[in-house]
Amino acid sequence: MTSATARSITRSAPTATPDPEPRRILAIDYGRKRMGLAVSDELQMTGQPLFTLVRTNRRNDLRRLREICRKHGVARILMGHPLHITGEAGEMADEAAQFAERLQKELGIEVKLVDERLTSWEAEQIVAQHKSRNRRKKLSIDDVAAAVLLREYLDRNRAHAQHVAAERE
């Protein structure tokens, strides 16, 4: 009986060959000096902070983002859209939108602007909690904010997919 169970597990195990189709989502918390980056898993269920990219110049920033997208198999990019709390777009929101447009043109990857209101505040809360528990590893607010942005996007998409599936039944 044990060998039959082992065989069935072996047969149903996924193959080790990677899927050639990019499936990950890269989230960017846009800033003039730094950009926080987070990446989803291939199933787009979770997101993890990647690192904070210190900006140098637009050409170099685009080159480094292109390398990151290739390395991680990115299919879509989420760009944080820093709207005011009232929902109005200010100077930074316009700048982020222009960078998103340029990024999509240069990389050929879909870039979606996503409302990022309160993600930095939530990231600050997470980093503060982490500091009180673990003094050895320092977290960056920028990449944690990108991970919060990504998590909220993935949660919304999952809830929408569940709603659509429930309506079909």
pLDDT of 73 reads 94
pTM comes to 0.74
**Residue 21: pLDDT over 80:** no
Q: Give the CA radius of gyration of the chain.
A: 19
Give kind and range of the element (H or E) at residue 29. strand 24-29
Average pLDDT of the segment spanning 85-99: 87
- CATH code of 21-168, in short, is 3.30.420.140
Where along the chain do its domains lie? 21-168
Report the Cα 61 to chain-centroid distance in Å.
Answer: 17
